[in-house]
Each structure stands twice: as structure tokens, then as C-alpha cells.
Structure 1
Amino acid sequence: MEIIENGFVFSDDSNLIDVNAVHHYLSVESYWAKNIPLALVQKAIDNSLCFGVYKDGKQAGFARWITDRATYAYLCDVYVETTYRGLGLSKKLMSLMLFHPDLQGLRRYHLATLDAHGLYKQFGFKALENPERQMAIVGKDIYEKEGK
């Protein structure tokens, strides 16, 4: 699946992903995956349904779904490079992803965000009902510890 709009390419073709660019963003610029090793980024990409945004052949944005493509999908690692923010790329990317054939009819679409609630609300995401039913094991600063 590929869409070209205003000089940007939006694609689900994992072969187009610049793993080094995604790794740089996640390990250096993100708040959620600081210092993540390159090998883990590659493994995550290999095992997810990934989407990229490209400008002139370079990675301008990225997102991935951890999904069984039948009942559940968890959206993560969503970003648009600073240079390209404010152009509506996140909205276009969300539209493309939510209408992807592999993500139709799922029982639950899930995500976690610190600061993008407004974006995701536009696509039907809302705070969890019955959050007391949700549980997690969270590894804090896990990539910091691996390097030591």
C-alpha cells in the first residue's frame, strides 16, 4: 500500500525503511526508547506491521503496529522528523494505517502516549474504560541498564 501526496510517500513496504534513521530517532530523540540498540530496532521492525513516510527517498516519519492481524494491534514508535512537523503528516499516516486491510475488524487498537492525545482522539482513540482491568510489567530505563 502506497500513497504519494505533496511530495511525500507513505508506504507499508518494510524494504523502504531506513533502519539506521529510525534507530537514530528512537535511541536519541524519543522519550520512550532512549538508547535502544540497533539490533532491537531491526527485530521490532521485522516482527511488526510498519509504515514509513519518505521525502526525496529519506525517512521523514515512521510508525509500527504490533499485531496478530486478527484481534489486536498496539501502535508504537510513531514519529515525524522535526523538519516535517506541522504539515499534517501524522494525520495522513494515521488515516493510511487505520484503513490498512490487515488492521480491519480488530477487537482492540491500543496505544500509549505522553503528549499526542489530541491527534489520536481525532481517530477514535479515548482513555481506557475500566483501567483497573489493565496490567503491565514495565521495564524502566531498560536500555540504559543493558549498556552497563
Structure 2
Amino acid sequence: MDQLHISTEREALDLDLIHQFLSERSTWARGIPRATVERAINNSLCFGAYLDGRQVGFARVTTDYATFAYLADVFVVEAQRGQGVSKALVAAVMAHPDLQGLRRFMLATSDAHSLYARHGFTPPARPASLMERYFPDIYVN
């Protein structure tokens, strides 16, 4: 694999790629409006994964930088899957200095449990204490 670079520089993010992936290819945000993606990025700590200056992966963390974080919208473009990009991307998220010492770090995944387990994620210790409002098709007309 070429030299992988992971950055939190918001200016480097390829918003067209991120919106296209989330709205057309993700299973969790299909149909999401570009304005919603931009607002989410502007209010999150974002990570881009780049090969030869081209973005190939993305992750964002919503956090108060003190007690809580939520990892969301993690993806790697299809052509780069299976080459360690997601492992490096999640490792960079977990090593970020502003995300240390949090009481709770959460995420939701339907198919990448082993990736996140490497970083200490487990099913909720007290699932009965968690609640949610979930609208899976909110962006689909």
C-alpha cells in the first residue's frame, strides 16, 4: 500500500466524496442531504485517510472533549478496503490526544465488531440503561 496519511485538517476533506459515499453507498445515511453532512462535519472532530493526496477514508467523532464521544460515519472507499486503511483510521481516532480519558466512547456498527473490539469496544455493560430515538430512514423520501 502507498503511504497512508491520516489528518484532522477539515480543509483537506473531500466533501463531494464524503457526501456521495454517505448518501449513496452507506447503509446508515442513505439519502442524507449535503447540507446535513456539512453541518455534521462542522460540529465534529473529523479524520480523513489519504493515499497520494486522494481521500480514501473518513471518520468523525462527536464529543464534548471531556467525558463523552460518539464515533460515526466511518468508511473506506471500496477500492481500498482490505488494505489496513480502516485499522489505521480507527487507531488514529483512538490515539487522538483530545479523545483520551473519556468516561464513555460509543459507536454503532452492523458489521465491523472485530475492528472496534481491538480498541476495547464491547457491547454495552448495562444495555438496560441506554435509550435511543432512532429513525433509520429519515433521509429517504
TM-score of Structure 1 vs Structure 2, range by shorter chain: over 0.9
Q: CA deviation at 1:56?
A: 2.2
Q: Secondary structure at the match of 1:127?
A: coil
Q: Deviations over 1:90-118 (max 9, x none)?
A: 11111111111110110011000000001
Alignment partner, residue 80 of structure 1: 76
Greater RCO (Cα-Cα under 8 Å, separation 6 or more)? 2
What is the one-letter code of the residue matched to 2:28? W
Alignment partner, residue 14 of structure 1: 10
User: Which residue, out of 43, 46, 71, partners 2:42?
Assistant: 46
Q: Secondary structure at the match of 1:142?
A: coil
User: Which residue, out of 89, 95, 106, partners 1:93?
Assistant: 89
Q: CA deviation at 1:140?
A: 2.9
Q: Deviations over 1:39-59 (max 9, x none)?
A: 000000000000000122221
Q: 1:10 and 1:120 mapped to 2: Cα distance?
A: 18
What is the one-letter code of the residue matched to 1:98? M
CA contact (8 A) 2:29 2:139 kept: yes
User: Which residue, out of 115, 124, 132, partners 1:119?
Assistant: 115
Do the aligned partners of residues 135 and 74 (structure 1) sit closer, same or farther apart at CA in structure 2, a change above 3 Å counting? same
CA contact (8 A) 2:2 2:51 kept: no
Q: Percent identity?
A: 48
Q: Secondary structure at the match of 1:105?
A: coil
Alignment TM-score, normalising by the size of structure 1: 0.92
Alignment TM-score, normalising by the size of structure 2: 0.96
For structure 1, the 5+ residue unaligned runs are none
After TM superposition, the runs of 4+ consecutive aligned structure 1 residues lying more than 6 A away are none
Q: 2:136 and 2:10 mapped to 1: Cα distance?
A: 29
Q: CA deviation at 1:63?
A: 0.1
RMSD, aligned CA: 1.1
User: Which residue, out of 108, 122, 125, partners 1:129?
Assistant: 125
Q: 1:80 and 1:10 mapped to 2: Cα distance?
A: 12
For structure 2, the 5+ residue unaligned runs are none
Q: 2:54 and 2:33 mapped to 1: Cα distance?
A: 21
